[in-house]
Structure formats: C-alpha cells, structure tokens
A and B are shown apart, each in its own frame.
Chain A
Amino acid sequence: MSGTNDDADGKDDPVGGVRAAAEQLWEEDAVKLLGLILGIFALYLVGGALLDFGARQQVNLLANLFFYIGVFAMLALALNLHWGYTGLFNIGVIGFMAIGIYTTAVLAKEPALTEPAAGSIGGFGLPLWLAIIGGVLAAAAFGGLVALPALRLRADYFAIVTVGVSEIVRFTVLESDFQKMQIAGYFVGLGGGSGLILDFDPTDDLLEALGLLEPYTAFTESAGAALSLGSNPKPVFDSLLYGLILLVFLIGFYVLLRRVGNSPFGRVLKAIREDEEATQSLGKNTRRFKITAFMFGCALMGLGGILFFAVQGAITPSAFRPRLTFFVWIALIIGGAGSTTGSVMGGAIFAAFLFRGPLFIKNVVQQNVDSDAVDTFGQAVSPLISGLDPFPMLLFITDNLQQLQLVIMGLVLIYLMHNRPEGMLGHRKEEASTISLNRPERSTDSPGATPATDGGEPVDGGDTDE
C-alpha cells in the first residue's frame, strides 16, 4: 500500500519531495484508515448523487455503511487476536456472536411473569448495559468451555470443532424444546425457529440514561426539517447515532488490541503463533496464555454480535449460519492477519465493496432499468444463445446478485490465497519481540523511502509500531 520507491533520487525534485511527504503521511495508520473510510463514503455519496438520492436516502446509505464497516472491522479485530496473534484457527465466530446476543436478549427483554401469549416470550428485564455485560461474559465463558479441551488439538481439527460448536449453538437456539420455559417465575426462552423479538432500543436507552432523550428528539425534529429529511426523521438520526456509537466501540477495540499486542502478554501470544514449543521451553505456560487469549477474543466476538444484532429488532436462528464466520475471515484475510490496522482496513473494504457494494449496484440498476428480470437461468440463457441478446442475462444477474455476491467473495478468497495470502498489511505482521528482528537497513542512500516488502520496516528500537 505504501507505493513504489521508483523515485529514490527524487530528493531535489519538488514533486518527489511532496510525494515523499505524502508517503510519510500515508505511513501513519490513522491517516490510512481515515483516508480509506472517507474514500469509501465519498464513493458511495457520488453514487447516490448520480442516482438522484434524496437527503434521507443519502444519510441512510451512510449510516448503513457506517454500521457494516464498524461491525466487520470489530469482528475482524477480534478474530485477529485469535488467528493473527495466537494462531488459533477459529471458524466458529458466529457461534460466539450468537451466545452474546441471545444472552443479552434473554436478560434484557421485558419480564413476563404470567404465561405470555403464543409467539411472545419474556426475559429477565435487566437494564440493557447489564445485559450486554452479561452477554459478553457468557461468550467469554463459552469460549473457555470450548477452549479448555479443544486447544490441545491440531489447527485443522480445532477448526472443525469450532465450526461444529457454532452449529451446535444454532441447533440449540432453533430447538423448540427451549423455545419457552419457566425459570424462577419468569417465562423466558430462546424462541426456537421464530426467534426473539428485541423489545429494547439501544440508542434510546443510552440517551435516556444520559438524560438527553428529550433534547435529542427535539433536535431530530428541527434538524430533520432543516435537511428536509421528510416526516419522522428520528430513525435516520438513530441509525447515524448508532453508527457513531459503533465508531466509539471500534476505536476502543483498536486501541485495546494494539495495547494487548504490544504488551508482554501479546508478545507471548505471537511467540506461540511462531513456535509453541520454543515458547514453552522459555518457561511460558502456553496453554494458559492460549485459553486466556481465546476467551478474550470470544468476549469481543460476543460484543461484536451484540452490536451487530441489537438494532435489528429481532433475531432468528437462520441469521447465525456459518457463512457470517467466513465473511469475517475474508475481511481479515483481505486486511492481513497479524496486523491491527490491516484488520480494520479489511473490515472496511469487505463491508463496502464485497458486502454492500453488489447490493448497491443492484439498486442502481433496478432503479434505472425499467424492466423485470426473467425468473430462471434458462430463460436468461436462451436469448443469449439464440439471438446474442445479453440483456436478459444481465438483468438476471443483477436480480440474483445476492447469490453471485458470494461467488465473488469465494473467488476473491481464492485469488488472495494464491497471490497475496498475507493480505494488504500482512507483511507488517507483528513480531514476537520488543525490537525489530530484521537486519537494520543501511538506508543512507535512499531517504524517505523505506518500502517494506520483505517483512517489517526498520524501526529504531523501542516499540514495533506495527
């Protein structure tokens, strides 16, 4: 990403100087992330403007992007702790997310002390913040339960166990026997196939706790009128506000994981990734480190799951299929396993281009093209063969982009594994050491250009700043 250094002797060339300065600025991770995210937003806004989107649609578009970038970046960060740092091949991410949101839902839903009507299930009525903490702890505890025995296994067996566990979680929440039960007088349950209705509103709860709900509502009315967002502008602002909350959480994740990565604890994790036996021989109890790291990552995944699903209004078991796990994996691999900044970038790129992009294109086409797509592949193919008419095929493709989107994701994954298995920033994989392990470069002859193609940049002692 840092560009080429074909202008190594551009010292006395002002353009080269500016470029070097820009490159130096680009080296700053915060700049990189900000640039990427602003770029994505700009792209979508231009797309929306071309579509004659109204203000409301544009704001919704941004809030939507915000949401998906936030959650995927967070989940990729959590997975990076497992895979990028510790080398734990966890493909059961969705299971831990499910534990998080289901626990939160059961704890926070309005209590039902008398037999509720068919189709509705109560909860324990705890305040939302407490329920979220409960969900995170439950995910961590469940992670510990899985890790205690499973961490002895080889990486590929561990993978199969984790995906198996995530399916067990899904079957359990799907099971009608747990749909409704009575615990200590409360009618609670997991909802079975029809899922749970989430009768809480995270943004409203937060505002109310801060005592800001009234002024906020007044603000949405006036700002909505000023921006001509149409009637009932509150949901639009709610989704924006939620995006901001996600941003705060994301920054929290990022800072936390960077600190963990650079701490002695994090260095032991990276050492385990590189060579577990060698780490053991240095007197580290690698098993304990692995369990702690796994539980910590699972807690973050649980929190990611809560943030992902808390605003959806309802949760159903079908949302917890393993493919979401693989989405997070693709995001991590795009960004580069082992790099914190890379994880966030991967999450953003995945969310913007692979996850939301095709749907955006579908909307664009369907708004502009005024004809219906045919129903089956056959009807789309026959005009292509008989009359070389590609139009029905193109329409059919856009109509079924939801499926093709996953084909594209698969192809991207294969391409990455073939050509760039280290992802965008994987070459900056953090080392299990306080100082750089690379031979210091004699870089007097090429100032300002230190591309890192063979792993790591020269760092002058101290912390490896990723």
Chain B
Amino acid sequence: MNLILVLIGGLMLTAAAVAMSLRNIIHSALLLIGSWLGVSFFYLWAGAEFVAFAQVLVYVGAVSMVVLFAVLLTRRDRQDVVVAPETRTRAISALLVGGSVAGLLVSAVLGTPLATGPAETPTLTVKDLGTLLAGPQAAGLLIAGVILTVALLGAVVLAATDSGKEDAS
C-alpha cells in the first residue's frame, strides 16, 4: 500500500521538478498537468474518488486549457515559447516569491493541529457529499461560485476592450 503512495508521490514530484527545469514552456505545462494527474491518483489511492474525478475534470480539463491558451496567446512566435535562461534578478525574485509561498504553506501545515494515530476510515458516498455541500456548506459553495463568476466577468471585460472597432457581426 505504501509502495503505491511512494510511486504516486515520485511521479508527482518528478513531473513537477522536470517541469521546472525544462526550457520549453509547453513541455513544462504538459508535465505540470501530469503532476496534477498524480494528485488525482493520490486522491484515488486515499479512497476519495469524487474528489479525484473532480480534480481531473477541473485541473486536467479546464485549468490546463487556461494555462495552454495563455501560453499560446501571449507569445509572438514559436521560438518565443522557449524561454531564455534566467537573469540574476529573475532568479532572485523567483526565489523570493517561491520561498514566501513555501514558507506560508509550511507554517500553515505546521500550525494546524493534525490528528495522529489510526483514524476511522469515513464511508462517505457521493450522495452524502452532495447533501453536505448543498446543506451546511452551501454558503462556501455559493461564495466560491460568486468569486469565480466575478473573475469570469472581469476576464470578459479585459478581453473585450478593443472589440468596439470591429463591426458587430
């Protein structure tokens, strides 16, 4: 059982590490998607199949498209897709930002009291999850939905600035 966990973890981390070291940004993006797929394998291993499939649906299906479209639409030509080796300032700023995010995450993990010892495996069906989401957790779900809608509207506003010049068809 633990061997599988090690394999999944290895897959995730290797994919992420190789994604960071590659110069070709599309390859990096595809490897990042592989890493997300690894996360969903981890959820499957842990018995949370609903979360695993949602992870595939959202990350591999939707977020990956956003990443790939962003890469393709912001680069002028294919040669530009290959990023030049970083300068010192870029390395320093990357280290700063990455380090602060990592510090935040690690401190959050360390600061959370985690129950250790053998825990009971909860037997949650999708139906239970649905009732939970639509009942006690409905507020959180709605807030997340509103935030996403606002983000979507913002994206539309940003993207639609220069469409006034073209004749509406």
Are chains A and B native binding partners rather than an unrelated pairing? no
